[in-house]
A and B are shown apart, each in its own frame.
Chain A
Amino acid sequence: MNSNKEISGPVLRLDEPLSFWGGLDPKTGRITDVHHPQVGSSVTGTVLAMEHGRGSSSSSSVVLELIRNQAGPVAIVLSEMDTHIFLGSIVAEELYGLSMPVLITPKENLQNFHSGNVAHIDSEGNIKCTS
């Protein structure tokens, strides 16, 4: 978990895992995967919540590019660690000093995340979701 400041943002809860590469435009932050139920939604500025990532090994680069373009979520919350997403996030810190924490929460907890709620993440990485 790579967070050291307080963050909050509207939750975008994905019904299915998303592959960032081939699934999301890093310039606009919009989901482009035609197979994804939330195609067309924007991840920009959200606390993006999904169970796990999916698919292509290019996802780290897309996450990095998304952060560079400031089109990314403010944080990503998963119930299983996705190293592709995590690496995009830590390299963004290395290269640009930009932070987009990737946090892990148990699956039961993730079920409380609904789109439209607001998620708060404290400096210790604790996540709270309020409607």
Chain B
Amino acid sequence: MTLDLSSDDLEMLDGRDGAAIEMSMRIIVRLAETVKAKRLIDISSAHIDSCLYHGLSTIDFADRLVQLGAQVKIPTTLNVSSMDLLHPDLYRGDPEEALRGRQLADLYESMGCKPTWTCAPYLLEERPNFGDQIVWAESNAIVFANSVIGARTDRYGDLIDICAAITGRTPDAGLHLDENRYASLVYEVGHLPPSLFDHDEIFPLLGAFIGSTTGTQVPVVNGLNNEQSEYRLRALGAAAASTGSVGMFHAVGSTPEAPTLEVALGSKNPQESIRVSVEDLQMMRSKLTSSTGTALATIALGTPHYSIDEFAILRSHILGKHKHPEIDFYVSAGRDVLLELELRGWADELRSFGVSLVGDTCTYFTPILSNTDKPAMTDSGKWAYYAPSNLGIEVIFASTADCVASAIAGRVVLDESIWTNEQ
């Protein structure tokens, strides 16, 4: 099985369209050979993760492409930056790094990428459609595109994302292909107390459990009520892509390629069927919580970037209330969503409670938090998973309601009733 390049691919590789396309093609072809793709395919959009600063090499790479004349060929959005570009005063890190972050942002914008600066490109107006072939980087966006939209992207990452945007081509491999999108691992949840699933925080916990037990297979969740909301599915996917390598999952009755368990499995027998227990979910809850006391300095929500639906839930908890003066309360979101908050008048309500709205970046890797000595609380499985390593901070995973209650009390307040009453 060898890679069969089209005449157009070969001419791009030969420099017909300039040196930037030539270099991008060379990288894509090496990847295609490695993943044993038979051909390259056209893509209709790209979402770029390479725009986040990780050191001088990230600038060297973008700068090389720009010097060679790179321009993106298809609609291309940008993932989070290393700083809030609209509110740079929130940044507490090294000013040199901030400057590099800005420099990298400018390089990607100059290649024609849209300055969306969000990890939730699926919340933007130009969301891909079912069946579209796309190249998206950023693990939560990948799992959402594949699972919830039914668009097709492999688990792309930095460097290849921009090469694909510049050429409009990608290897026909991985999750682009029908045969790799079927589930091979079943997670049964139908026997769990139904009232457990009235609580949003079960979904990131279930996702974290799936991520830590799935490996690189495609899992299917069986036994949830039909038509789960997008924000629950994405919280599940984001957590699964953080604790593991999940690029796609199915939820029978909720995701478009899983009308039934049989369809999700491609009519094959699963390799394994796992009966999820309450204890499994409690174990994940303990794993995502490193602090056991009541000390608290920070609430961090919006990982991935909060949607309007999630702001509606948050708003219902905070209206008419005020956070404790010693607690910082951050919520991260994309520019479009922040604008909509202003237009709806919700931004003022949130600020009146004491919320700091953060755009363009995320608080689990950027130096924004004013206090990392005392623990932080989050409703995000992804934030809870990464922040202890990235920021050296202690963390408590909890429901959105508990995050708000704790922010008001000035200490950790947890409603344990969902775990004590329902077993």
Contact = CB atoms under 8 A, between A and B. Distances in A.
B317 interface: no
5 contacts: A33-B389, A52-B245, A61-B157, A86-B34, A87-B160
Given A87-B27, A91-B27, A58 B389 contact: no
B158 A61 contact: yes
B160 A60 contact: yes
A61 B58 contact: yes
Interface stretch (A6-14, A63-71, A122-130): A63-71
A64 B57 contact: yes
A67 B55 CA distance: 11
A45 interface: no
Nearest to B245: A54
Given A65-B55, A65-B58, A80 B157 contact: no
A26 B54 CA distance: 8
Contact of A60 (B159, B241, B243): B159
A73 interface: no
Interface string B16-58: 0000000100110011001100000000000001101011111
B346 interface: no
Contacts of B154: 83
Contacts, number: 123
Interface string B235-248: 00000011111000
A58 to B, nearest CB: 6
Contact of A95 (B64, B245, B290, B388): B64
A94 interface: yes
A119 B155 CA distance: 30
Given A22-B390, A54-B244, A81-B34, A64 B142 contact: no
B58 A64 contact: yes
A125 to B, nearest CB: 12
Nearest to A16: B212
B390 to A, nearest CB: 6
A84 interface: yes
B388 A34 contact: yes
Nearest to B212: A35
B60 interface: yes
Nearest to A62: B54
A101 B206 CA distance: 36
A59 interface: yes
B61 interface: yes
Contacts of B58: 61, 64-65
A55 B139 contact: yes
A107 to B, nearest CB: 12
Interface in B276-301: 287, 290
Given A86-B31, A90-B27, A94-B26, A60 B57 contact: no
A57 B245 contact: no
A72 to B, nearest CB: 11
Contacts of A83: 31, 34-35, 154-157, 160
A115 interface: no
A88 B27 CA distance: 11
A54 B159 CA distance: 17
A41 B148 CA distance: 38
A1 B30 CA distance: 10
Contacts of A59: 157-158
A56 B211 CA distance: 12
A95 B61 contact: yes
B386 interface: yes
Which 9 pairs show the lowest CB-CB distances between chains A and B? Answer: A65-B55, A57-B157, A61-B158, A60-B158, A84-B157, A68-B57, A61-B54, A57-B137, A60-B157
Contacts of A65: 54-58
A33 B52 CA distance: 19
B60 to A, nearest CB: 6
Given A22-B365, A61-B54, A55 B388 contact: no
Contacts of B365: 22
A83 B389 CA distance: 23
Contact of A35 (B30, B56, B385): B385
Contacts of A55: 139, 241-245
B138 interface: yes
Most buried by A among B154, B155, B156, B160: B160
Nearest to B63: A95
B54 A87 contact: no
B228 interface: no
Contacts of A61: 50, 52, 54-55, 57-58, 157-159
